[in-house]
Structure 1
Amino acid sequence: MAKDYEKIAREVIAGVGGADNITDVMHCVTRLRFFLKDEAKADTPAVEQISGVLGVIVQGGQYQVIIGNDVTDAFSAVESALGCNTSAEAVRPAQEPKNPVVASLKTLTGTITPVIGMLGAAGILKGLVSLLSTVGVLAADSGAYLVLNALGDSLFYFFPVILGFSAGNKLGGNPFIPAIIGGALVYPSVVSAVGGESLSFFGIPLVLMNYTCSVFPIIVAALLCSVVEKQLNRVLPASTRMILTPFITIAVVGAVTFLAVGPVVTALANLVSTVVLTVYGFSPALTGLLIGAFWQLLVVFGLHWGLIPIVVNNIAVNGSDPLMLMLAVSILCQAGAALGVALKARKGSEDKEAAIAATISALFGVTEPTLYSFTLKYRRVLVASCIGGGIAGAVMGIMGATFYGTAGGVFGFMGAISPQGIDISFYAYVIAFAIAVLGTAALIWVLGYKNKEA
């Protein structure tokens, strides 16, 4: 039966305290993310009982209402109910959280979430091109290879431009300003000057770095842009703002980005990445076991945003990341959990119908329907998924596999294909798929998923 999204929107808005209690709302892949004036006014038990709502998570200054794959339709209905017609980023100006950690997580979430799907698409395309080239269908010197390879690489190469626009949009400023600065970071003559003769900016030594595929420098630059832009709009005459505000912001923040922000932030990002990979290098099997078993629980509490930017940065800069494969394994074990429930549930039962839909959803990389309908509801499903994901993750670590894209589920096969051709990582993903999906499903089939089952 088709969902009544207008009804869902009205009930959710009423449940979170009404339109007057909402300062900002956006959505990610499966959740409506509300920023409320007073979270105490929200009636969480009532919201959880709304037909079409899978659950509620309150963390990081966000009141998150889990909808599922059709969150875009629900968000459009919320926009309409609030009398707005904007992008998926914000319905009305947000009151930024005072906690700097919460504010940082909000910025990262709002900046990276809109491009996660594009990262997955680019990874699939790159994997497909590599596969076709490996099997001899596509010659490396052909026009088709040139075009398809460029389409797959363009997002990563021009990442600073795209993230600059996304961050600018999230921070409420003119998104084209940080996008222009991002464009300067990957400007051909700038890239070609990296590693060349020493240069200066009006006498100040200029440390040029290759910012193609970079993540963090442009996000910090976008934050500076939003601050400078707001201050300029306060002091400049209205008649001059259209030209002078972007001119001064681009010139000042752009120069600061090249002179200080870029080198410093890149060094810090590299340091954090080194630390994370050092921990992985200490025991790949243990790292895979822990990430494969518990990653989805981190997602539930929003704690995954501490690692996601690092993983994305590694893939964008280095072309691959070993941790991403373990995250993908965690998604697969949720597909296995839903499949196990679908096989075990009685024919015609509500659980069986929901589990079949959740299996399909998880196989395409969206796990919330499984998490909130079964994994967090039934202890045996949680235990089975943790065991399946942990074993598969440990195997990935032992095999030394790495990932070349960000796509999950069945599309992960493409992300596991190296640009040089099929290697151990692809075979590792095949094994992970079997362990996480079929192994987890088998555990649930044997143990049952309800406590009363034998």
Structure 2
Amino acid sequence: MATKTDFGPLVADVAEALGGPDNVRSVTHCATRLRFKIKDSDKADLKRVGEIDGVITAINAGGQHQVVIGNDVPLAYQALLDVPGMRAKGIKDGDTEATVDDGDEGSSDKNLLNKFIDLISALFSPIVWALAGIGLGKAGLTLATTIGVLDTESSTYAIFNAMFDGLFYFLPFFLAVTAAKRFKVNQFIAMAIVAALLHPTLEAMVGAEGVTFLGLPLTMMSYSSSVIPVIVGVWLAGYLQRWFEKVLPGAVRNFFTPLLVLLIMVPLVLFTIGPVTIGAANALSAGIGFLFDTVPWLAGAVLGAFWQVFVMFGLHWGLIPVMLNDIATQGFSYIMAPLMAAIFGQVGAAIAVWIRTKNPEVKKVAGPGVLSGFLAGVTEPIIYGVNLPLKYPFYAGAVAGGIGGSIIAVGGNAFDSFVFPSVMAFAATLSIGSFMAQLIGSSVALVLGFVFTIVLFRKGEKEEKVEGSVDKQKSVATPNVAAAVSGTYVPLAEIPDKVFSSGVMGDGFGIVPDNGEVVSPVEGTLIAVQKSGHAYGIRGDNGVEVLVHVGMDTVKMGGKGFEILVARGEHVRAGQPLVKVDLRAIAEAGFDPTTAVIVTNSKKLEGLQVSNVDGHVDAGDVVMRMEA
């Protein structure tokens, strides 16, 4: 199996043949090729590039110098960034140099909620494994203290607690790094902003009266474990950084830029995000307190359904002081009891995903995430790594949590100590209200979260089956390849892209689509799914390796008009929808919609030929088959 190291000599030669790193404005990659933007084309020798061992071909098209590598292009791209002088030139697949600022490239066709969810998922995906693994440690520590193996007053417990809680407490630091990458901000500037917000001196001011800055009154909040304030702060910092880098003289730019960004952003966050969050949290706290006094079941439903959302936006900080005060003054807190349903609803949904998903990456996160959520109430791994990215499990868990929370609140249940809601926390619910109601409400949330997610899973499968009813190519051992979209058949040599039409990528065909539903031409596993939605690599169960490339140069659309329906690692049926494409958007952007279906290992499959096809084909019609 090829590795990044194998491509080191190749990409070094490519960079040199293109005039060196100083002649490269930017570079990205799509499904099969490296795409360079060059400053001076006269310094770039494409003929020399095409002769480099490992390069399939090199062309100048669409204003880019395109170097075709094949299916291993991601490894070549990673190796290219290690070439001295190239790291800063790399941009993500689907990004454009003009639109990297807003953190949501290529998704203007999505609604605001989907944009928000996609953004949160992208920022958490690099750290989700750490959250899942360390969450297990936190769950184990909770178990050890519950059964009496560890004393919570011991120094051993304190060290273990710091070990397993540090990531969650200092989560803003980690988000500063991922957000900086997403919003094109210097990561050290981003971390410096967060460091100020988490500094012990500022943390000590939380709740204090008479806090001022430059004579102006300031309301302090805790930013530990926060999500949205950090993301917004880093996003705004990106605009400041780029502006200062543009206007400051070169002699002072490098050290004045971080200084000025910090001087502006820290007070800005403290005076805006902090007070707004605190005001919203206090209003939320007052509203839920009113509901508990007047309509308890509704208060329980709100907490059970929306607690995870409150945490995400930092609004829970308005409720935590109320909980602590209630326990200190009256010995119990009604607000905490329904939170058990909020946790269990999401855990139940994640269990369903873990059982039903065929995506190994999702399954690996869901398993340990379920344990940490169930045993310790640590839901970050399943929220940010499983339920929220998939959307419907998060919704299912929220609805289930609302129902369970309502049952708990009607039972008059309360926590008599401040502990994380989890299976270990049931002991804190024994003395106030109906323990049976607490048990039933929590169990209902767990079961309904599971059932709702299973039902939605089945619904999705049925819809795919109906939409993919053109699945005329059954799962057989014969290496057949079907049409990926309905439309007009185009012979390989007539595909309007030199790389495909020349056959260097493999044998295949094209289709000018007459609708926007693109399906899998074979049954197999998705080994590549481009973030821009324009290309998919499938390793067929029948031995065929297929590239489905939707449109020519549509990578430049950055995902606009492409609704991806699958994920890398997922097993798909022949005829199962891969992506929904807005053909009008492609036309308005000035690109050719011809969809190429290329068998990249056709040289190893002697006898695989295009059938007698002329004119119109339907998605699922067998176009290539093994001839005797």
Alignment deviations for residues 159-181 of structure 1 (CA, whole Å, 9 cap, x no partner) = 33332233222211112222212
Unaligned runs of 5+ in 2: 7-28, 38-70, 321-335, 370-381, 467-628
Q: Distance in 2 between matches of 1:388 and 1:255?
A: 37
Q: In structure 2, what is the equivalent of residue 241 of structure 1?
A: 253
1:171 corresponds to which letter in structure 2? F
The alpha carbon displacement at 1:127 in A equals: 2.7
SS of 1:180's equivalent?
A: helix
Select the residue among 417, 431, 438 that pairs with 2:424.
417
The alpha carbon displacement at 1:186 in A equals: 1.9
Q: Is the 8 Å Cα contact of residues 85 and 91 (structure 1) preserved in structure 2?
A: no
Give the share of equivalent positions with the same residue, in percent: 22
Q: Distance in 1 between matches of 2:227 and 2:270?
A: 15
Q: Which protein is bigger by CA-based radius of gyration?
A: 2
Q: Distance in 2 between matches of 1:208 and 1:388?
A: 32
- Superposition pairs for residues 294-333 of structure 1, below 5 Å? 310-312=310-312, 317=317, 321=339, 322-333=341-352
Q: Distance in 2 between matches of 1:122 and 1:281?
A: 35
Q: Is the 8 Å Cα contact of residues 171 and 223 (structure 1) preserved in structure 2?
A: yes
Select the residue among 123, 147, 166 that pairs with 1:154.
166
SS of 1:239's equivalent?
A: helix
- Superposition pairs for residues 354-433 of structure 1, below 5 Å? 363-364=367-368, 394-395=403-404, 398-399=407-408, 416-418=423-425
Q: Is the 8 Å Cα contact of residues 123 and 152 (structure 1) preserved in structure 2?
A: yes
Q: Would you tell me which structure has more helix in proportion to its own residues?
A: 1
Q: In structure 1, what is the equivalent of residue 92 of structure 2?
A: 91
Q: Distance in 2 between matches of 1:177 and 1:238?
A: 18
The alpha carbon displacement at 1:134 in A equals: 1.7
Task: Calculate the TM-score normalised by the size of structure 2.
Answer: 0.41
Q: In structure 2, what is the equivalent of residue 176 of structure 1?
A: 188
- Superposition pairs for residues 196-211 of structure 1, below 5 Å? 196-211=208-223
The alpha carbon displacement at 1:392 in A equals: 9.1
Q: Distance in 1 between matches of 2:400 and 2:185?
A: 46
Q: Distance in 1 between matches of 2:153 and 2:72?
A: 49
Q: Distance in 2 between matches of 1:4 and 1:153?
A: 35
- Superposition pairs for residues 66-145 of structure 1, below 5 Å? 79-82=74-77, 84-85=80-81, 91=92, 93-94=95-96, 95=99, 96=102, 97=105, 99=108, 101=112, 104-145=116-157
Q: Is the 8 Å Cα contact of residues 402 and 416 (structure 1) preserved in structure 2?
A: no
Seen in structure 2, the aligned counterparts of structure 1 residues 4 and 111 have a Cα distance that, compared at 3 Å, is: closer
The alpha carbon displacement at 1:231 in A equals: 0.1
Seen in structure 2, the aligned counterparts of structure 1 residues 285 and 329 have a Cα distance that, compared at 3 Å, is: farther
Q: Distance in 2 between matches of 1:156 and 1:197?
A: 28
Q: Is the 8 Å Cα contact of residues 213 and 313 (structure 1) preserved in structure 2?
A: no
Unaligned runs of 5+ in 1: 7-11, 23-75, 292-305, 339-353, 376-381, 404-412
Select the residue among 207, 214, 217 that pairs with 1:195.
207
Seen in structure 2, the aligned counterparts of structure 1 residues 214 and 388 have a Cα distance that, compared at 3 Å, is: closer
Task: Calculate the TM-score normalised by the size of structure 1.
Answer: 0.54
Alignment deviations for residues 97-131 of structure 1 (CA, whole Å, 9 cap, x no partner) = 48493765554333233344444444433332222
The alpha carbon displacement at 1:266 in A equals: 4.2
Q: Distance in 2 between matches of 1:387 and 1:110?
A: 21
Q: Distance in 2 between matches of 1:103 and 1:258?
A: 26
Q: Distance in 2 between matches of 1:390 and 1:195?
A: 33
2:92 corresponds to which letter in structure 1? V
SS of 1:147's equivalent?
A: helix
Q: Distance in 2 between matches of 1:168 and 1:273?
A: 32
Q: Do structure 1's residue 282 and structure 2's residue 298 form an aligned pair?
A: yes
2:154 corresponds to which letter in structure 1? S
The alpha carbon displacement at 1:222 in A equals: 0.9
SS of 1:259's equivalent?
A: helix
Alignment deviations for residues 174-194 of structure 1 (CA, whole Å, 9 cap, x no partner) = 122222121211211222223
Q: Distance in 2 between matches of 1:204 and 1:223?
A: 25
2:342 corresponds to which letter in structure 1? L
1:331 corresponds to which letter in structure 2? A
Q: Is the 8 Å Cα contact of residues 124 and 415 (structure 1) preserved in structure 2?
A: no
Q: Distance in 2 between matches of 1:212 and 1:203?
A: 26
The alpha carbon displacement at 1:143 in A equals: 2.2
SS of 1:417's equivalent?
A: helix
Alignment deviations for residues 367-414 of structure 1 (CA, whole Å, 9 cap, x no partner) = 9xx99xxx9xxxxxx9xxx999988984575346999xxxxxxxxx99
Q: In structure 2, what is the equivalent of residue 348 of structure 1?
A: none
Q: Distance in 2 between matches of 1:274 and 1:77?
A: 56
The alpha carbon displacement at 1:283 in A equals: 7.2
Q: Distance in 1 between matches of 2:116 and 2:442?
A: 33
Q: Is the 8 Å Cα contact of residues 156 and 316 (structure 1) preserved in structure 2?
A: no
SS of 1:223's equivalent?
A: helix
2:348 corresponds to which letter in structure 1? V
Q: Distance in 2 between matches of 1:325 and 1:392?
A: 7
- Superposition pairs for residues 437-452 of structure 1, below 5 Å? none
Q: Is the 8 Å Cα contact of residues 337 and 437 (structure 1) preserved in structure 2?
A: no
SS of 2:136's equivalent?
A: helix
Alignment RMSD, CA only?
5.7
1:282 corresponds to which letter in structure 2? L
Select the residue among 232, 236, 240 that pairs with 1:228.
240
Q: In structure 2, what is the equivalent of residue 64 of structure 1?
A: none
Q: Distance in 2 between matches of 1:168 and 1:157?
A: 19
Aligned residues: 335
Q: Distance in 2 between matches of 1:201 and 1:287?
A: 35
Alignment deviations for residues 245-289 of structure 1 (CA, whole Å, 9 cap, x no partner) = 10110111112122223222443466679889979951757997x
Q: In structure 1, what is the equivalent of residue 514 of structure 2?
A: none
1:262 corresponds to which letter in structure 2? G
Q: Is the 8 Å Cα contact of residues 176 and 230 (structure 2) preserved in structure 1?
A: yes
Q: Distance in 2 between matches of 1:107 and 1:81?
A: 27
SS of 2:251's equivalent?
A: coil
